[in-house]
Structure 1
């Protein structure tokens, strides 16, 4: 007698049908979220490696010694790539304060969380008895994971405005924010919004002289920059003041989600990353990461990929991504009405409207992204932002270029040029007018909308989402769970609505999308 309620083949067929509604993860048509090497055999290698360790629990590497061996190898690979091995810092000098050690985590967010948790705990030990709240100093372009870390671990996030033209924070502006309450300074290599390589060496010289830790967030592009064909300023452990570094293997390491590394200079510092307790009647709990039980599959996949590709394989894949990036940037530079923001580093860049040309020749990046999506190409829309000093960062379209892009770059370039011509001269959506028009349709008008910013329950948030056309009558996002056809108005709303209200509405939207319907 079978214990199965349904035929496994039928269930898998159902899953395949669900996947048909997703954006394509392979083929280069999605330029965010996925990192396609273009090598099907690499995907098969990852799947086979993960299947072999499917039953293994990464909680205890003393019971499952394969976990210890694989993690050691992956951390060792990352340490060599980012110039943190003993041969780089000098074997005779690599004492407890100098040796670079690390952990494999579930992704960039966990790596960033752990870097902040470590910094907070080190800061607390050094200032025993203090009641002050420690600060993180970082540019406004720092990844949202550090907002989450500050929220989770009780730190203040002190954001330094970046230069709108370059996306980079001035080192002097960071220095002005430093004090004895700063537990960590964070810079990016590169930043997600604009692909800016922050001035890491300049800031490291400042933080090191003051004894303040510096974390380099290389989660998105680290494993690409490490093999980038162009000469770059030093940004990794070759910079003496770099205390820790995070980089994701499920991005330009081409492993499946989710696997990242967090490297830390100094064994004693890194031990603050751990949680340990014997204060219960069960087994002693010692965790280097947030999770206890955890899958070994992503680790095994990353381990297999790094061993198969090696330095030369990563360099070749990075060369393909670099070639496609250059070609796309040349196409955009030649497209009237658009401009690339700053001087991006690596296989990422952001595109804004070129307001130097006449209004009727300008191309709004959000309308452009929507037009490209209609042609089957998925690029990411990013909202504008007013910084604390009053300067405005433009709304943009973000590109993440992968090796597979090199195979379709000609087709993509043609689609982008065509999309630009289709929306040329169309003004950007005015979020303020949109909000005013929607507010007029609500009971209580704009006053009700303002009141909603102060506090709103789930039903009230859902009502607003429906008024904005972002929630279907069945509670699903949009009509039947689909996103709106055009995202430009949605991003305009994100810019125009009060931040707390936007965040509350987005929480409601995501929560409703996954609520059971039967």
Structure 2
């Protein structure tokens, strides 16, 4: 047993740190060692349980109902019901599937979403045959445009979508106006609050002015909120809330027409470990309202301070004033954000590059956790040094002929050999390992059309995930 654990710890040495506040995407760290340990113990305690049948493990039913009630209280949903899922993507998938199945008379359903909506909605469109009607956001604020969203709705629309906040820019869409658009047409309206749903209510309770975004807004029919983000619980736990039980009913799947047990599911999964649910319940109970209010304010204040400091760095600017705990930064022409990201990694900080999109510049995404706040001066100093180094090196240059060729390639016509060649050109080699610096790779991906980006990265992932 000791040897196996030693091997696991050795393998982990190549991973980004999940604690300490230096990884500003993918993980969320409260900085509370006791809460982390409690979560680990709860994971172990419930690791063998199965949430497939809540009558077999009634404790799981109690834990889930407790968490849903907590979230409904936070999000001002008096009669709201909900389901604990494996993460924000599953919550979003279920919201779309439920809207589709609630309108069986619409043969070719669609949903209207701002261009900043999370990619999980496009995954739902792909899985469930709900056409995504994408509407451009306001160029100045990066927020959804209610008039344009209204114009995009038609007789096939089963869902209207908004973000609180959007992942890429950290801004909250105008929820009341968008809810009114949906409500006037009898269309369901989903608020993706996977990131903000556990932060905005506690900021509001602490006196921060928060625009209405939850069930207090008439017309909001469902909300997704992740526990493994700013509730700081172990992965993976999210909640999908519906305003009423009647709205949730189409989410359920049952099948009795086979010789085995009658399958009855509330989520995409059938068998699902009770461990993340138990861990989430334990951590939420331990931290409590006062703890979450303190953690939310700590992260929010640090986010605002980071944004101010970034604006003061020559060559950097903030794309949009943060409304929760996310910051998006861009660079002027003296450097590119991909080189800045590499320089940050070299200094012990992971920030997430975001490629350019429909006239929006490439940017850096930073998710601020409470554990990062005490190290904010270190983070700012690293950002200053990284920008200076990136400016000294200059932007990564992609050969013009390569950029033009990338725009002309139809990925649907490429075979495996062609992808092997393109991966080599992109700097991803055979796909077996990652390059030391990602800036040249990201710069090439940035000039490629989205479909080619997708195809290249799928080819890379396919090669990366093969047994050696």
Structure 1 and Structure 2 fold alike (TM over 0.5): yes
**What secondary structure does 1:424 align onto?**
helix
The equivalent position to 2:96 in structure 1, one of 110, 116, 132, is: 116
TM-fit CA distance, 1:100: 1.0
- Per the alignment, residue 223 of structure 2 pairs with 245
- Per the alignment, residue 467 of structure 1 pairs with 425
**What secondary structure does 1:15 align onto?**
helix
TM-fit CA distance, 1:364: 3.0
TM-fit CA distance, 1:452: 5.2
1:455 aligns with 2:406: no
Q: Which runs of 5+ in 1 are unaligned?
A: 1-7, 86-98, 387-391, 440-445
The structure whose Rg is larger is 1
TM-fit CA distance, 1:170: 1.5
Give the conservation status (yes or no) of the 8 Å contact 2:326–2:367: yes
CA distance in 1: counterparts of 2:409 and 2:211, whole angstroms: 49
The equivalent position to 1:380 in structure 2, one of 352, 355, 366, is: 352
1:165 aligns with 2:140: yes
Give the conservation status (yes or no) of the 8 Å contact 1:431–1:495: no
TM-fit CA distance, 1:163: 2.1
TM-fit CA distance, 1:379: 0.2
Query: Cα–Cα, structure 1 residues 402 and 159, in superposed 2: closer, same or farther, change >3 Å?
Result: same
CA distance in 2: counterparts of 1:116 and 1:493, whole angstroms: 34
Give the conservation status (yes or no) of the 8 Å contact 2:242–2:248: yes
After superposition, residues 283-432 of structure 1 pair within 5 angstroms as 283-354=261-332, 362-386=334-358, 392-424=359-391, 427-431=394-398
What do the CA deviations read for 1:311-370 (whole angstroms, capped 9, x no partner)? 11111111211221122112112112111112221010100125xxxx5xx443322222
TM-fit CA distance, 1:43: 0.9
How many residue pairs get aligned? The number is: 465
The equivalent position to 2:44 in structure 1, one of 51, 67, 78, is: 51
Give the conservation status (yes or no) of the 8 Å contact 1:147–1:157: yes
1:149 aligns with 2:129: no
CA distance in 2: counterparts of 1:425 and 1:227, whole angstroms: 42
- C-alpha RMSD of matched pairs (Å): 1.8
Give the conservation status (yes or no) of the 8 Å contact 1:249–1:259: yes
Give the conservation status (yes or no) of the 8 Å contact 1:462–1:505: no
Q: TM-score under structure 1 normalisation? A: 0.86
Give the conservation status (yes or no) of the 8 Å contact 2:338–2:443: no
What do the CA deviations read for 1:211-230 (whole angstroms, capped 9, x no partner)? 11110001122211221242
TM-fit CA distance, 1:157: 0.5
- Per the alignment, residue 40 of structure 1 pairs with 33
Query: Cα–Cα, structure 1 residues 452 and 170, in superposed 2: closer, same or farther, change >3 Å?
Result: closer
Give the conservation status (yes or no) of the 8 Å contact 2:51–2:57: yes
Give the conservation status (yes or no) of the 8 Å contact 1:165–1:341: no
What do the CA deviations read for 1:437-477 (whole angstroms, capped 9, x no partner)? xx9xxxxxx49x945523223343233212322033xx50x
The equivalent position to 1:107 in structure 2, one of 75, 87, 96, is: 87
Q: TM-score under structure 2 normalisation? A: 0.95
- Per the alignment, residue 71 of structure 1 pairs with 64
CA distance in 1: counterparts of 2:402 and 2:127, whole angstroms: 32
Give the conservation status (yes or no) of the 8 Å contact 1:77–1:306: no
CA distance in 2: counterparts of 1:307 and 1:118, whole angstroms: 30
What do the CA deviations read for 1:205-250 (whole angstroms, capped 9, x no partner)? 1211111111000112221122124211110111011010001001
CA distance in 2: counterparts of 1:164 and 1:368, whole angstroms: 25
CA distance in 2: counterparts of 1:313 and 1:232, whole angstroms: 19
Q: Which runs of 5+ in 2 are unaligned?
A: none
Give the conservation status (yes or no) of the 8 Å contact 1:383–1:491: yes
